[in-house]
């Protein structure tokens, strides 16, 4: 801290001492963007296909990058996660006036089928204006952007009220053990964390046009069920009432025809309100979306809205019948028939009440229910926060008038693992990736991120973190 008045003046009591924070240094964003592209290219060349993961090499690489700017990072959990695996943790210190913000990414990537790629997926190729490689979008690209935003904050000397925590996790793509071990063993490192940002955001760009900035505030919970009916095995040539298969088929038929209640959560109501103006050509539909709860009481509106598979899935608990098994021989009545049902709950649902509802719908005490995995903690983060407002501000500076909205994720991420500690978590996408690129590349082939997006992302996240102080 610099004191403007000299000590002599202070001693004379002529004027008050005025303390002023150091002035932030101007950053050369072109050179930071070029550095980010170089670093991302080198990062993508480290093969962390999971299995086996090999995240330790990625953690060491990021640790070295942070060390160049004097930020010390710790490699953690190597014994717990197994050979070649690790989590990474670093922290940029503030004056501690407010609680911390954590930037979380995963170090592993999903496997590739190299023959379908135009480049070697682990070469880190930079060409035609893109950085190519497995992980460019999911999510080494975002992880590297988080790291560079942290480094940029350090270099700029911007005064910080909130520590910025950086966490790289192993094994997000397979077992989620990296985040689980981290939360279990290092809850102390997260104690002062108020906000967390990771994947699960979606800035929708369709044919070069930005539809919205999407911040992930909520995700559905998996509540997978195994449904079993027991019977008495016998020969298929003599039908009996003790065949479990017809029992199960009846039960599944009732489930398949059951329409779960429609229910509007606050984030979903906001999402529909935000996208309504895009239906400017269709006055009636725009009015429906602007007030979704009212629209759902109208049969024509309800039919139009639930016909969209994504909208339908964010407005209700869903039931998909998926796995079936009974006899493995045509002439054998089996001892048991089972089905697995993929049930996804809205975040505010009570699992015991849902289970009771399913039992009532099926209405057969011979049907046994078993929850396949314990459901994760519910994830629905508040919107009225400093960090959400910071994202809105930074987004609108870039795209004046842009919507910053809250699409619910129908799939599952590591976020509930952190949310269980009481941390407000957001899915944040630092890029404006065209829908077609994301569709093809994420878990697919020719995954790539544009060079322009890498520079955009670092500065976007830097501003978000600055505005959230």
Nearest CB to Zn ion, comparing residues 179 and 358: 179
- Least separation in angstroms between CB 198 and Zn ion: 9
- Least separation in angstroms between CB 191 and Zn ion: 26
Nearest CB to Zn ion, comparing residues 199 and 447: 199
For the chain, the maximum distance between any two Cα atoms, rounded to a whole number of angstroms, is 110
Nearest CB to Zn ion, comparing residues 111 and 239: 111
Nearest CB to Zn ion, comparing residues 55 and 138: 138
- Least separation in angstroms between CB 230 and Zn ion: 40
- Least separation in angstroms between CB 329 and Zn ion: 42
Q: Which two tokens stand for residue 265?
A: 């959560």
Residue 243: phi, psi to the nearest 5?
-75, 120
- Least separation in angstroms between CB 106 and Zn ion: 6
Return the residue nearest Zn ion (CB atom). Answer: 138
Nearest CB to Zn ion, comparing residues 173 and 434: 173
- Least separation in angstroms between CB 204 and Zn ion: 18
Nearest CB to Zn ion, comparing residues 139 and 387: 139
CA angle 109, 110, 113 (to 5 degrees): 125
Kindly list the residues in this chain that would bind Zn ion in the complex (CB under 5 A).
138-139, 199
Under a CB-based contact definition with an 8 Å cutoff, are residues 213 and 442 in contact? no
């Amino acid at each position: 801290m610099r004191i403007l008045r000299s000590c002599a003046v202070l001693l004379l009591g002529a004027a008050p001492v005025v303390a002023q924070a150091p002035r932030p240094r101007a950053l050369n964003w072109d050179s930071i963007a070029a550095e980010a592209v170089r670093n991302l290219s080198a990062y993508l060349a480290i093969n962390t296909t999971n299995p086996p993961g090999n995240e330790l090499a990625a953690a060491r690489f990021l640790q070295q990058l942070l060390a160049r700017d004097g930020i010390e990072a710790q490699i953690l959990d190597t014994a717990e996660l197994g050979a070649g695996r690790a989590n990474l943790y670093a922290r940029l210190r503030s004056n501690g006036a407010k609680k911390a913000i954590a930037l979380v990414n995963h170090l592993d990537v999903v496997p590739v089928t190299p023959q379908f790629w135009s480049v070697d997926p682990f070469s880190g190729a930079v060409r035609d204006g893109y950085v190519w490689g497995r992980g460019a979008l999911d999510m080494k690209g975002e992880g590297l952007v988080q790291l560079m935003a942290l480094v940029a904050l350090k270099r700029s000397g911007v005064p910080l009220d909130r520590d910025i925590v950086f966490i790289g996790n192993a094994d997000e793509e397979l077992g989620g053990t990296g985040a689980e071990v981290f939360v279990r063993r290092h809850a102390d490192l997260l104690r002062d964390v108020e906000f967390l940002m990771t994947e699960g955001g979606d800035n929708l760009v369709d044919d070069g046009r930005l539809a919205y900035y999407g911040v992930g505030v909520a995700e559905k919970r998996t509540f997978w069920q195994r449904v079993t009916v027991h019977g008495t095995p016998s020969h298929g040539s003599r039908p009996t009432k003790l065949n479990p298969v017809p029992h199960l088929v009846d039960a599944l038929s009732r489930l398949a025809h059951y329409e779960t209640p429609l229910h509007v959560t606050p984030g979903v109501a906001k999402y529909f309100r935000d996208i309504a103006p895009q239906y400017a050509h269709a006055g009636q539909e725009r009015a429906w979306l602007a007030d979704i709860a009212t629209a759902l009481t109208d049969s024509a509106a309800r039919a139009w809205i639930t016909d969209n598979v994504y909208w339908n899935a964010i407005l209700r608990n869903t039931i998909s019948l998926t796995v079936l098994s009974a006899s493995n021989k045509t002439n054998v009545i089996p001892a048991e028939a089972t089905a697995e049902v993929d049930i996804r709950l809205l975040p505010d649902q009570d699992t015991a009440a849902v289970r009771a509802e399913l039992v009532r719908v099926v209405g057969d005490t011979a049907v046994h229910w078993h929850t396949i995995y314990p459901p994760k903690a519910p994830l629905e983060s508040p919107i009225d926060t400093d960090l959400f407002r910071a994202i809105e501000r930074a987004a609108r500076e870039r795209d004046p008038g842009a919507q910053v909205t809250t699409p619910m994720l129908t799939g599952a991420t590591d976020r509930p693992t952190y949310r269980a500690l009481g941390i407000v978590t957001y899915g944040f996408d630092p890029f404006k990736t065209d829908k077609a690129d994301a569709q093809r590349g994420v878990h697919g082939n020719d995954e790539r991120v544009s060079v322009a997006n890498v520079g955009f992302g670092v500065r976007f996240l830097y501003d978000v973190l600055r505005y959230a102080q």
